[in-house]
Structure 1
Amino acid sequence: MSRPESAWSALRGNPVRFLLSSWPWRSLAYLAGTAAVGFALLGVLLALLMAGALTAVLVVGFVLIGAIPVLCVAVLGLERRRLRVVQPGAPALGAPRPPVADGRGLRAWVRQRRGEPPSGREAGYVVLLVTLLWLLDAVVVFNAVLLTGAFVLAPLVAAADQVVVFAWTVESFGEALPMALVGGPIAYALSAYVVTLLAAGQSALARLLLSPGENELEQRIGQLRRSRLDLVDAFETERKRIERHLHDGVQQRLVALSMTLGRAELDVPEGPGLDLVRQAHGEVEAALADLREAVRGIHPRVLVDHGLAAAVREVADRMPIPVTVRIDVPRLPPPVEGAAYFVASEALTNVARHSGAGSAQVTGWLHDDRLVVTVTDDGAGGARIGGGSGSGLAGLVTRLDALGGTLSVRSPDGGPTEVRMECPRCVS
């Protein structure tokens, strides 16, 4: 039989198995921890409030009072981790706050958390913790331990003094032994169920209040989307830098070398020397052609200067099969145009290499404020993203996802194949 995932599921199981398991002790530890944390937090909060009020005239008072939200955030993090004591099999609570971005250490953590105060539900849990929960848990834990201990230890205590438990009075070891053997298990079972029931209910309440709310999740999603867009922008910036370096630096040097070798061909007399110069000239021309192809693959200049339609037509003109381009869209943000261009370029490259198609077509339009680009061919079909004929497209899926876009391939065996991307025309 599988182990229960939480205190609730343990309570619903076999009573004997439950009483002999670790769940009563887990629940007792959880409630004792809540009492200790709540009592300590209450003391610290009162101390900070009193010290802040007494030193309100000074800046120190505001610093002390301003430390209260940061302290609460730290305690809330501890409470989320403590849920694993009575909910080890339940999904971990999502972190409502992003990780510390400015470095490690207490100072960096405090600096970031000062701008991330507790939410309304978190503040409600803190109020419950310092006013009701810690006191309730302390009373329950104390009485559960006292009741069970009074019965179990009755024979030892009775040997030295009289023992009175409810209406049961014993004065010797022999009289107390039946009390321990009968009352001990009953007291333990009663205490175990009360403690576990309270721990289960309290942990469910904590999970409800400490789980990230919809607004918090939306903020996290927005932050994640912005960070991914920043990565895309940084990627585009680096592409442009590399392209500019190759175009204005390496390519110009190769052009100058090609011109020098061309002049040398006119001055060197016929013979082995001239043959070597001509061979070197041809190698430089081939290197220039490869470099221009690499530059176009990194960040085509025509895309920056003339837009998506002109850039895709340039790719289509280099294809070994006829490619029709019908793209009628205005200028779009550079990340969107870049993603659309590389999808079209990679799809056309796959058509030429793998599909055996006789023709292809690239179409682009705007629909409901989204850019839609499709690449279709009449080839053999069977293409898949991430497969041998679509591995280059797999890398573009993440890039489009960062922009809020999608990429899909419809390619039944026997064709035709359609690669379709959709992306918001504006990203933010």
Structure 2
Amino acid sequence: MSDASDGRRRHRERWRRRVCLERQLHDGAALRISSMALRLGALDRAAPQRDIDALQDEVAAALEELRAVAGQIYPSLLLEAGLGPALRELVTARGADAAVHVTADRAEPAVEGAVYFALADVLEAAAGPLTISVRTERGPAPEEDVVVVVIEGADPALAPPVLDEAEPLGGTVTVEDGAETITARFPCA
């Protein structure tokens, strides 16, 4: 196995572990905290209501913090619904001025995660409106398929964080001369 393909395999394994960690948080601690919130609401009213309300507020805050951490590991919407819904939610949550068009087929978690977090970095740093297109480009064989991301209106200085996510998967990033367009290619295999 070549060093490059071994590196891609290790990178994909790290993404798989991130997905597993997010699922453990979601299916374990988050469910337990949600259950506690319900049980607090059903407590005998012998306890002062303000104490129960305060505990419910603390439990709700802990649950929100846990969800925020899980989303930074691997967003559950990305895992469940794919890049389109996850990116649209990200744009809304960040209040970013961006139009998102996704026609890409579902890809493995490493690819979708890399695309998502690359675009999260771009949205965080972008100064103006963006148009983001994500599509699947078919290769001669399924293992040669590529997810192509085109970011229009982007400062070329935003290319390095995109490359940081694409390169470990064997991907590339190009910036069009004289244009504010970044194109990234994320191999699916």
Give the CA deviation at 1:236: 1.5
- How many residues are paired up? 182
State the partner residue of 2:92. Answer: 317
1:400 alignment partner AA: A
Change (3 A) 1:325 1:268: farther
Change (3 A) 1:263 1:243: same
1:422 alignment partner AA: R
State the partner residue of 1:338. Answer: 113
State the partner residue of 2:150. Answer: 374
Counting only pairs closer than 5 Å after superposition, residues 248-397 of structure 1 correspond to structure 2 as 248-264=27-43, 267-268=45-46, 273-351=48-126, 355=127, 357=128, 359-367=129-137, 369=139, 370-377=146-153, 381=155, 383-384=157-158, 393=161, 397=163
1:363 alignment partner AA: S
Q: In 1, distance between residues paired with 2:27 and 2:39?
A: 18
- Structure with more of its chain in strand, by fraction: 2
Q: In 1, distance between residues paired with 2:64 and 2:152?
A: 29
Q: Does 1:405 align with 2:171?
A: yes
1:328 alignment partner AA: T
Higher RCO (Cα < 8 Å, 6 or more apart) = 2
User: Kindly, what percent of the aligned residue pairs are identical?
Assistant: 25
2:121 alignment partner AA: E
CA contact (8 A) 1:405 1:423 kept: yes
Change (3 A) 1:419 1:268: farther
Change (3 A) 1:337 1:281: same
SS at match of 1:326: strand
SS at match of 1:311: helix
> Structure 1, residues 369-415: CA drift from partner, whole Å, max 9, x if none?
4322133458xx584566xxxxxx2xx634422322123567x9xxx
Q: In 1, distance between residues paired with 2:30 and 2:42?
A: 19
> Structure 1, residues 310-340: CA drift from partner, whole Å, max 9, x if none?
2212222323244321111222233222211
| TM-align CA RMSD | 2.9
Structure with greater Cα Rg: 1
Change (3 A) 1:242 1:284: same
CA contact (8 A) 1:302 1:311 kept: yes
Q: In 2, distance between residues paired with 1:228 and 1:399?
A: 13
2:172 alignment partner AA: T
Structure 1 residue runs without a partner (length 5+): 1-221, 387-392
Give the CA deviation at 1:223: 0.9
Q: Does 1:247 align with 2:26?
A: yes
> Structure 1, residues 100-157: CA drift from partner, whole Å, max 9, x if none?
xxxxxxxxxxxxxxxxxxxxxxxxxxxxxxxxxxxxxxxxxxxxxxxxxxxxxxxxxx
1:267 alignment partner AA: R
- Structure with more of its chain in helix, by fraction: 1
TM-score scaled by length of structure 2: 0.78
Counting only pairs closer than 5 Å after superposition, residues 36-185 of structure 1 correspond to structure 2 as none
2:168 alignment partner AA: A
SS at match of 2:99: strand
Change (3 A) 1:307 1:284: same
